[in-house]
Homo-oligomer: A and B are copies of this chain.
Amino acid sequence: MSTQPSSGFRAEYACSEGCGFRASLWEVIYRCPKCGSLLEVAHDLEALRSVPAAEWKRRFESRFGSARLPNASGVWGKHEWVCPELPVEDIVSLGEGRVPLMPLRRMASELGLASLELKECGVSPTGSFKDWGMTVLVSAVKHLRARGVPIRAVACASTGDTSAALSAYAAAAGIPSVVFLPKDKVSLAQLVQPIANGAKVLSLDTDFDGCMKLVQQVTEDRGLYLANSMNSLRIEGQKVVAMELCQDLDWEPPDWVVIPGGNLGNASALGKGFQMLKAMGLISRLPRIAVAQAQRANPLFRAFRGGFQELLPMKAEKTLASAIQIGNPVSFRRAVRTLQAFDGVVEEATESELANAAARADREGTFTCPHTGVALAAVEKLVAQGVIAKGSRVAVVSTAHGLKFADFKVGYHRGTLADVESRRANPPVELPAELGAVRKALESLG
């Protein structure tokens, strides 16, 4: 097995605010030590351009057929663009990426769109888009350990998809993982993936901020590697969603891409993927990007309405879209730059809007999570406002499988969700067990 699949291609850390700091990807570092900003992974585009765009397209297509790493993974089939110097033998993959692009034909037709398609990132090993980024982070940690860096474990403070993905990839790699959580704030059901995958789950007598503070203190000694959302390695995997979406569409980007936004790393990753494709000549124009937020956790929406003058951190209220219930997003500045570069907009959705939009899509055979519901509600509203023009081609990033949110679905169809008017509830029909009654009930079908 080749250990250097991509010799000549290079990437390194750079300060995302442009202060000039650079460092090797094999440094254990999370923020710019000069100015405190987030880091980003900077690729040597000149080296990548030594391969013509048409040849990259050919390679990306042909690699989907392979059963061996790196190509067996949708993310690592784009190895040179993701983390080129990572040796193949250190890749930790669960077969992430290469997910369906599902057309919602009736909804598109009703809205007057040329197309409306869901990039189903939740049809994935741990059930969410976090897999795309976590495969890169955990692979890098495996490589750091192979280089002798004494990392004993990976750690995060998360109740949701991040801890599920981290613990699954760590388990596959044989690297211990630790999840920090506030005691009594989280149920075992929310944690069952990390628990099953063998993470050490610490239930701490404090709140979430207290957990974050502790995880940062404990990871300062570099023996514990911090896997939270400021980690810029994860962005490199997540940006492949944009690459794969363009590949699905024969390298003709949609007019709009709509994505739910909480901490906003995902929106930045999407932008980075499209920009890299354009810089490399694989696409000739950028789509517009719309970030969709829950009305109860909408700091980016508020900032957008104010012309992005400033972010006013808010206390996010409880929303069905629990994974984006964030009042002070860590990737705010990155996301603003992305929106400015993509002529982007921000929209918000109420609880009722997000739940009904999710139910509308489900009627076409998908099983959407509430966050995808936020994005679909934003599509409905932006079309109604004329911001998304009739006839547009629209893609929505579906971030998790609805199976992770069965209670949300049950509550919707029972009509018991707070502040939600279930306009598409579809309760069972009770009938006597008689052929005549059944036949009569079925008369209205089709």
Contacts and interface: CB of A to CB of B under 8 A. Distances in A.
A202 B365 contact: no
A80 interface: no
A1 interface: no
Interface stretch (A18-26, A181-189, A324-332): A181-189
Interface of A: 60-67, 72, 94-95, 98-102, 106, 120, 123-127, 152-153, 167-176, 178, 180-181, 183, 188-189, 191-193, 195-206, 210-211, 214, 217-218, 224, 247-250, 359, 362-367, 401-404, 406-407, 409-410, 412-414, 426-433, 435, 438-439, 441-442, 445-446
**4 residue pairs, one from A and one from B, having the closest CB atoms:** A95-B100, A172-B365, A206-B433, A152-B446
Q: Is the interface of A mostly helix, strand, loop or mixed?
A: mixed
**Most B C-beta atoms less than 10 A away, residue of A367, A427, A439:** A367
Contact of A441 (B202, B407, B435): B202
Given A67-B249, A94-B100, A214-B435, 12 more contacts: A67-B248, A67-B250, A94-B365, A98-B98, A123-B123, A126-B367, A171-B364, A178-B442, A188-B413, A188-B428, A195-B427, A218-B438
Given A172-B364, A196-B426, A363-B197, A188 B414 contact: yes
Contacts of A198: 362-363, 426
B431 A204 contact: yes
Contact of A247 (B67, B401, B430): B67
Given A188-B413, A196-B426, A445-B176, A202 B120 contact: no
A359 B195 CA distance: 10
Nearest to A127: B403
**Most B C-beta atoms less than 10 A away, residue of A189, A247, A406:** A406
A214 B433 contact: yes
A206 B180 CA distance: 49
A439 B95 contact: no
Contact of A125 (B123, B406, B432): B123
B95 A99 contact: yes
Given A106-B174, A197-B365, A363-B171, A410 B189 contact: yes
A441 B410 CA distance: 39
A100 B126 contact: no
